[in-house]
Each structure stands twice: as C-alpha cells, then as structure tokens.
Chain A
C-alpha cells in the first residue's frame, strides 16, 4: 500500500515568508509525528498528533511553528515569518496506534530552504 507522502518535496522561500508543509499519513494510522532534520544531524521531534489533537507539542521551537490535523488524517505544518535557521528537512511519520512500541513509518521529507 501507499506509504507516508509529503508535499512539496522541496520548498524555497524568502526570509519572513509563510510556508505550509503537508503530510499524508498511511491510511488508518491514528498517530502522526513531525520531525526536523538539520544537515548532519538526526531528526528532532517537533509535534505528535493522536487523532485530531496535538498530544505532545513540546518540540516546537517557538510560536512561529504551528501544526494542524483537522480531520485526523492529513496534517499541515505551518511556519510563519520564516528565518534562515528554519532551513532543514521536515519529516513526517505515522504509526498505527501511537503507542511507544509502534513502528513509526517516515515519509521522504520536505526540504525547506529559507534564503
């Protein structure tokens, strides 16, 4: 079946602009995660959804970052007033039930470049 998909695959924007990154999880997966991977680093957790609600947003770096999952499926990560330091690959993952032992399946990522 289809895996996790993310759009766009690449996004180039200018400093100060607003961007939206989209994630389509595996069908039937109730848990959805966003991570950010900077060059040469491992992924860093941003936010976790269980259904429609954000169950853990402790990784969001500041209030410029926001994510939604209004119908419990597709999620959008929104970044306001982008800064050059926001440049990274943004990864989305989904899992069946969101328990600690669940396998998280990752999408290919969106590479965000802020000029």
Chain B
C-alpha cells in the first residue's frame, strides 16, 4: 500500500532562517504530490502540488518543493520563514492506482522562534 513518511514530527527554526520539511513516499510509479498547511482552528490549505514536468514547483506564501524520483522525496522549502508560518504541514499523495483519495503523512509541526 502507498504510504507517506514525514520523518520530523516537530521542527523549530528562527524567524528569517531557511526551512526544509522532508517527505518521502512509497509507491512504484510517480503519484500526484501535495503539500498542505493547517493552522490552529483553520482548515487544510493547499500550498502546492506536483503532477509532472518541472520537478521544482512554486507555491503560495513563498514555498517551493522539489520532486526527486531517485529518492522518492518531495521536500518543502522556504528561504526565509516568518512568524506566521508556524503551523502543521502535511505531505500527501493522490491518484495512486486511479484512486481519488489523498494519503497523508503524519505531519510536521513548525515552531518559529522570534
């Protein structure tokens, strides 16, 4: 069965520092890949998605992600974080074997130090 692994449960970075959140998936073919953010009391919001083509994907709020087939990874990056980026981040895969459902990772909680 397909699975998504986010190795870091909790990450703390200083405001203005760079950020990389890791995501690995387990599936033979290239699935559709997504990053969502969940702020307290808010619904999940899509940051970016990858289906094919250019492996570096730009998203909202200054985020980007890079698909690396050889590593089965889809890591999320931001060059300079802001205090408002503190939230829970979820990587997800979809479209596996034609299914429409999303399979989510466990999530990474991001804390920003002032």
**SS of A interface (majority):** loop
CB–CB A45/B103 < 8 A: yes
Per-residue interface assignment for chain A, residues 90 to 107, with 1 indicating a CB less than 8 Å from any chain B CB and 0 otherwise: 010100001111111111
Per-residue interface assignment for chain B, residues 24 to 51, with 1 indicating a CB less than 8 Å from any chain A CB and 0 otherwise: 0000000010001000011111100101
Closest-CB distance, A22 to chain B (whole angstroms):
15
Q: Tally B residues with Cβ within 8 Å of A.
A: 25
Complex interface: chain B residues within 8 A of A91 (CB): 43-44
Instruction: Pick the residue among B36, B42, B101, B102 that contacts A108 (CB under 8 A).
Output: B42
Check if A42 is an interface residue, CB within 8 A of chain B.
Answer: yes
Residue of B nearest to A45 (CB): B101
Instruction: Pick the residue among A55, A93, A108 that contacts B41 (CB under 8 A).
Output: A108
Closest-CB distance, B67 to chain A (whole angstroms):
14
- Given A48-B100, A103-B46, is A42 in contact with B105 using a C-beta cutoff of 8 Å? yes
Bound state CA distance, A13 and B103, in angstroms?
A: 29
Question: Which residues of A are interface residues toward B (Cβ below 8 A)?
Answer: 3-4, 31, 33, 35, 40-45, 48, 50, 55-56, 58-59, 91, 93, 98-109
Question: Which residues of B are interface residues toward A (Cβ below 8 A)?
Answer: 4, 32, 36, 41-46, 49, 51, 90, 92, 94-95, 98-107
Known: A45-B103, A100-B94, A100-B99. 12 other contacts (CB 8 A): A33-B101, A42-B90, A56-B100, A59-B101, A93-B44, A99-B100, A100-B100, A101-B95, A105-B43, A106-B36, A106-B44, A108-B41
